[in-house]
Amino acid sequence: MKTINEINEIREKTLSEISLRKDINYKGNEKHILVCGGTGCTSSHSDKIISKMNAIIEEKNIENVRVIRTGCFGLCAKGPIIIIRPEDTFYAMAQEEDVEEIFEKHILNGEIVERLLCKDIDGNTVKRLDELNFYKKQKRVVLKNCGMIDPENIDEYIAFDGYKALEKVLTSMTPDDVVNEVKASGLRGRGGAGFPTGLKWEFTKKAVGDQKYVACNADEGDPGAFMDRSVLEGDPHALVEAMAIAAYAVGATKGYVYVRAEYPIAVRRLQRAIDQAREYGLLGKGIFGTEFEFDLEIRLGAGAFVCGEETALMESVEGHRGEPRPRPPFPANKGLFGKPTLLNNVETYANITQIILNGAEWFGSIGTEKSKGTKVFAVGGNINNVGLVEVPMGTTLREIIFDIGGGIPGGREFKAAQTGGPSGGCIPAEHLDTPIDYESLSAIGSMMGSGGLIVMDDTKCMVNIAKFFLDFTVDESCGKCPPCRIGTKRMNEILDRLTNGQGKEGDIEKLEELAKNIKRSSLCGLGQTAPNPVLSTLKYFRDEYEAHIKEKRCPSGECKAMTTVTIDKDKCKGCSLCAKNCPVNAISGELKSPFSIDPDKCIKCGVCIAKCPFKAISRK
Amino acid sequence: MSENNEKCQCQCGCGGKDEREEKLVQIIKDCNYDKSQLMHILNETQNIFGYIPMRAQKIISEELGIPMAEIYGVITFYSRFSLEPKGKYNIAVCLGTACYVKGSQGILDKLKEILGIDVGGITPDGKFSLEATRCIGACGLAPVMTINEEVYGKLDPSMIKDILEKYQ
Ligand SMILES: Cc1cc2nc3c(=O)[nH]c(=O)nc-3n(C[C@H](O)[C@H](O)[C@H](O)COP(=O)(O)O)c2cc1C
């Protein structure tokens, strides 16, 4: 157990060792090599890079160089990412084989390895991370430590003001002060609905109960979203500290973090963080020598989207089927194990320490009038800079997609952006200048959601994407209430018909009728929002639905049942690339003479179209 | 049900004593027989056995005092839990939105064709099983698939054959 003084000593000592990471004018002779150890870069073998670096350091007995496995830097498209500090050199897509050269040239001779530098979308080669357009409009509040510290080392977290907010709260603020500060900040829930966080804390604080809990929703069920995972992987102590502060504010002594089992790295790092915090006495009894006691436990999900819904989550934490319960009673009064429970999302919590340290006013100065602070987005799909982006609320979609995201690859046109996942909607080009905030996104038929942002180019069919999401909800509906269980299935059948070229007059009206009823009568948010992907695409792309029904035609050519793929005999040079890439061996021919496609075998996936160097293949 | 008598298939000479079962009993003990830890115990069971066999369900039921039917209800609710064994190499293709938009369906189709099995299936020699998963969070590498723990990213259908060959 450490006292406040001991923690301060650790802070000072560690800061003197790692401050060069933030100090570009550092003149000493130490270097820190930061290698991304998030899921994305780990999947492209950043761990091998790290082992190799450590092996070289040991073998050559190099002093003053440290390798640090950090959380996500954000620019996942360029992974694995290596940053060398203090000079801040940014190497992209490096591999194990490149490590020796990095050491030979850069580390030992101060020479930059030009070929590993990153080319920005505008064609310029950049040397430093902050020169990238990707970072220019971002503001890192939630992600401030991601890519900066070793998430498995509590001392590094402490060095950059870690556990200072908890100390401040326990030594100089009453629980009411804390609640009021959070209320004044204007922070709203980042899990999707945008409920004012301070108000939720107040309700839970006022609720009567012999035992109270705080809980964190780290289920992150939106497929294509990875904001919360990145916080857990890159800065797990931020969550531990924030939950302790929340527990103090509402009067809880025990916390649960519900994480999806599909995030093994995140779970491991969070568990480590909890263990280290316990070891330092930052969890447990008598924290910082006060009366306050708090402990934290991880509970794993097992792949059920509905468990992100708050009441279903609680059922699941208790070890049951994750079926939602009717509300009221709300969790603030009757939550986990029937006791008053505060539930917030990971990103919501990740704002708390900074609100406490910098004040509600500082937080309120970021963002828009009704949506304060920043929002993290996981940007994916047909976009150049796939990755993790944190921007002030009020930033426009255009800025995120084009300035930060680098636009659409392959010279294609932007068609729509999808936010809010299976509960959200598709936003067309005409609304690209919408500022990102809770109200504006709702007003155009989508929603903030938890932060998934999928960009689609003009090859994507909007009826098909609506069907993709309905497939998802049909699969994930828990089955407890009939409107959701049966209604989404009926909607999906209609969409199935449409995308197979068997749409009927009246199908659009049926979809609208079903959507209205499902939204009105479902038990939980899953059903209440399930029709949104259909409604929003109907709103902006109704002509596509009509073409599917009236002309049996898919304007974007994605719905395979309505198209044929053919090779233009005059353009084909017989190179066989298409045949090699065809997943179903539907293409055949003699080398150097025109190839042809067997329409019975062809699944119209379009791989050949993309592969043909002579643009001889097209979809009609 | 034949599975009732299912014994450990190993040839190691342990005489049918299944260490995995002992491990499971230990895990339940480590949880202080806390019923609310059922999800954790099932996740561990899934990790130890690769699926959740009937004999494991029986152990959990007896140790925790939860009826078999209730345990079955929980297992079938969550997609990560499986009542059937998976292949030696389990292939999971991500059908999250980011991967879908980047053509993961074509990857899945190619796998189905090469392996001759459907989603949820297993090859007759027990070597490969195929599943479609939701986002694994490696969206920067879309489209992705995993074979056991190994992640393969930025795929296109022409790469599949070579990748599978590594596992022959
Ligand atoms: C079907 C469904 C899925 C949800 N999934 C998540 C999720 O993955 N993560 C999350 O934080 N909130 C999710 N929510 C919202 C939660 O119910 C809840 O509002 C939120 O966790 C509260 O935290 P906040 O106020 O900090 O946003 C989901 C809601 C519904 C209806």
Q: What is the per-residue pLDDT for A557?
A: 85
Say yes or no: B97 and B159 in one domain: yes
Cβ atoms within 10 A of the Cβ of A35, count?
Answer: 25
Q: Evaluate whether residue B114 is within a structural domain.
A: yes
Question: What's the rounded Cα separation, in Å, for the pair A112 and A83?
Answer: 12
What's the pTM?
0.92
Q: Which residue of B has its CA nearest to A299?
A: B40
User: Is the pLDDT score of A142 beyond 80?
Assistant: yes
Which chain A residues have a beta carbon less than 8 Å from that of B156? 581, 607
Q: Is residue B60 part of a domain?
A: yes
Same domain, B158 and B102: yes
As a whole number of angstroms, the distance between CA A611 and CA A617 comes to 9
B9 belongs to a structural domain: no
Do the beta carbons of residue A169 and residue A248 sit within 8 Å?
yes
Please give the interface size between A and B, counted as residue pairs whose CB atoms are below 8 Å apart: 158
Residue-averaged pLDDT of chain A: 95
Task: Check residue B16 and give its pLDDT.
Answer: 63
Residue B25 lies in a domain: yes
Query: What average pLDDT does the segment A476-501 reach?
Result: 96
Q: CA-CA distance, B31 to B44, in Å (whole number)?
A: 12
Residues B53 and B93 in one domain: no
What per-residue confidence (pLDDT) applies to A193? 87
CA of A282 to the centre of ligand 1 (A): 28
For the residues A573-591, what does the mean pLDDT come to? Answer: 92
Testing the interface with A: which of B90, B110, B139 to mutate, by most A Cβ within 10 A?
A: B139
**Residues spanned by the domain of B103:** 89-165
Residue B9 or residue A130, greater confidence: A130
Quick one: average pLDDT of A562-571? Answer: 89
Q: Is the pLDDT of residue B15 over 70?
A: no
Distance CA A129, CA A126 (A): 8
For chain A, residues classed under CATH 3.30.70.20 are 564-619
Report the range of poorest mean pLDDT among A208-217, A400-409, A416-425, A597-606.
A597-606
Residue B116, in any domain of the structure = yes
Contacts of A223 (CB under 8 A, 6+ apart): A421, A422, A452, A472, B95, B96, B97, B98, B134, B135
Residue A221 near ligand 1, beta carbon < 6 Å: yes
For residue A261, which residues of chain B lie inside 8 Å, CB to CB?
43, 80
Q: How large is the average pLDDT for residues A196-206?
A: 98
Beta-carbon contacts of residue A296 (< 8 Å; ≥ 6 apart): A240, A243, A244, A254, A255, A256, A257, A274, A277, A283
Cα of first residue to Cα of last residue in chain B, in angstroms, is: 33
Give me ligand 1 centre to Cα A236, in Å: 19
Pair (B47, B99) in one structural domain: no
What pLDDT, on a 0 to 100 scale, did the predictor assign at position A620?
Answer: 75
pLDDT tops 80 at residue A71: yes
Check if the beta carbon of residue A57 is closer than 8 Å to that of residue A67.
yes
Q: Mean pLDDT over residues A437-457, rounded?
A: 94
Question: CA A12 → CA A7, A167, A240, distances in Å?
Answer: 9, 16, 21
Output the CA angle A370-A371-A374, nearest 5 degrees: 160
Closest CB to B140 among A305, A386, A469: A386
Is A15-134 in CATH node 3.40.30.10?
yes
The answer to whether the CB of A118 falls within 8 A of the CB of A385 is: no
B54-64 and B19-30 helices cross at what angle (nearest 10)? 30
Residue of A nearest to B113 (CA): A584
Q: What is the 3-state secondary structure (H, E, C) of A285-341?
A: CCHHHCCCCEEEEEEECCCCHHHHCHHHHHHHHCCCCCCCCCCCCCCCCCCHHHCCE
Place of tokens 């719905």: A559
Is B5 part of a structural domain of the chain? no
What phi-psi label fits residue B154: left (phi over 0), alpha (psi between -120 and 50 degrees) or beta? left
Do A605 and B106 lie within an 8 Å CB cutoff?
A: yes
> Mutate which of A187, A310, A351, A518 to test ligand 1's pocket (most atoms within 8 Å of Cβ)?
A310
What CATH number does residue B143 fall under?
Answer: 3.40.30.10
How far, in Å, is the centroid of ligand 1 from the Cα of A138? 25
| DSSP one-letter code for A97 | G
C-beta separation of A86 from A37 below 8 A: no
Ligand 1 pocket residue status of A344, Cβ below 6 Å? yes
Q: Give pLDDT, residue B9.
A: 54
Residue B6 lies in a domain: no
- Looking at the domain that runs over A154-363, which CATH code has it been given? 3.40.50.11540
Write out the two tokens for A226: 């990875």
Percent of chain A whose pLDDT exceeds 70: 100
Q: 3-state DSSP call for residue A368?
A: coil
Ligand 1 in reach of A524 Cβ (< 6 A): yes
pLDDT of residue A64: 93
Q: Work out the percent of chain B whose per-residue pLDDT is above 90.
A: 78
Same domain as B105, residue B72: no
Query: Averaged over A231-253, what is the pLDDT?
Result: 98
pLDDT greater than 70 at residue B2:
no
Residue A431: closest CA among A450, A421, A418: A418
Nearest chain B residue to A580 by CA distance is B158
Task: Report the SS3 class of residue A16.
Answer: helix
For residues B93 and B116, state if they share a domain.
yes
Three-state DSSP state, A214? strand
Across residues A305-331, what is the average pLDDT?
A: 96
Residue B118 inside a domain? The answer is: yes
Give the pLDDT mean for A299-303. Answer: 93
Q: So what CATH class is A462-550?
A: mainly alpha
Q: Which residue of chain A has the CA closest to B144?
A: A43
Residue B5 has pLDDT above 50, yes or no: no
Residue B95 has pLDDT above 50, yes or no: yes
pLDDT at position A300 is 95
Cα of A350 from ligand 1 centre, angstroms = 15
Number of domains, chain B: 2
Q: How near does any CA of chain B get to the CA of A459, in Å?
A: 10
The tokens describing B27, both together, are 């895990």
The reply to whether A561 touches chain B by the CB within 8 Å rule is: no
pLDDT, averaged across chain B:
89
What CA–CA distance (Å, rounded) separates A279 from A271? 12
**B109, B43: one domain:** no
CA angle at A419 for the pair A226 and A394, rounded to the nearest 5° = 95
For residue A428 the two structure tokens come to: 């067309």
Interval A511-536: pLDDT, tens: 999 999 999 999 999 999 999 999 99
Closest-approach residue (CA) in chain B for A419: B97
Contact A270, A239 (CB under 8 A): yes
In a shared domain, residues B23 and B55: yes
Which of B56, B77, B98 delimits the end of a domain?
B77
Mark yes or no for CB contact A380/B98 under 8 Å.
Answer: yes
Nearest atom of ligand 1 to the alpha carbon of A308: 5
- For domain A564-619, the CATH class is alpha beta
3 state SS for chain B: CHHHHCCCCCCCCCCCCCHHHHHHHHHHHHCCCCHHHHHHHHHHHHHHHCCCCHHHHHHHHHHHCCCHHHHHHHHHHCCCCCCCCCCCEEEEEECCHHHHHCCHHHHHHHHHHHHCCCCCCECCCCCEEEEEECCCCCHHHCCCEEECCEEECCCCHHHHHHHHHCCC
Contacts for A578-584: CB closer than 8 Å, 24+ residues apart: A578/A608, A578/A611, A578/A612, A578/A617, A580/B158, A581/A607, A581/A608, A581/A611, A581/B156, A581/B157, A581/B158, A582/A607, A582/A608, A582/B157, A583/A607, A583/B106, A583/B109, A583/B110, A583/B113, A583/B157, A583/B160, A584/B109, A584/B110, A584/B113
Residue B4 is predicted with a pLDDT of: 42
**A188 to chain B nearest CA, in Å?**
25
**Residue A232 belongs to what H/E stretch?**
helix A227-234
- The answer for B 122-161 residues in CB contact with A (under 8 A) is 133-142, 144, 151, 153, 156-158, 160
Q: Are B161 and B93 members of one domain? A: yes
**Ligand 1 neighbourhood includes A403 CB (under 6 angstroms):** no
Task: List, by residue range, all CATH 3.10.20.600 domains of chain A.
Answer: 374-457
Same domain as B160, residue B106: yes
Same domain membership, residue B63 and residue B106: no
Least confident of A120-124, A421-425, A541-545, B28-32: A120-124
Task: List chain B residues with CB under 8 Å of A452.
Answer: 97
Counting from 1 in the atom list of ligand 1, the atom nearest the Cα of A525 is 31
pLDDT value of residue A452: 93
State yes or no: pLDDT of B1 exceeds 50.
Answer: no
Rounded distance from Cα A159 to ligand 1 centre (Å): 32
Q: State the architecture of A374-457 in CATH terms.
A: Roll (3.10)
Q: Taking 90 as the threshold, does the pLDDT of residue B138 lie above it?
A: no
Question: Is the beta carbon of A156 within 6 A of some atom in ligand 1?
Answer: no
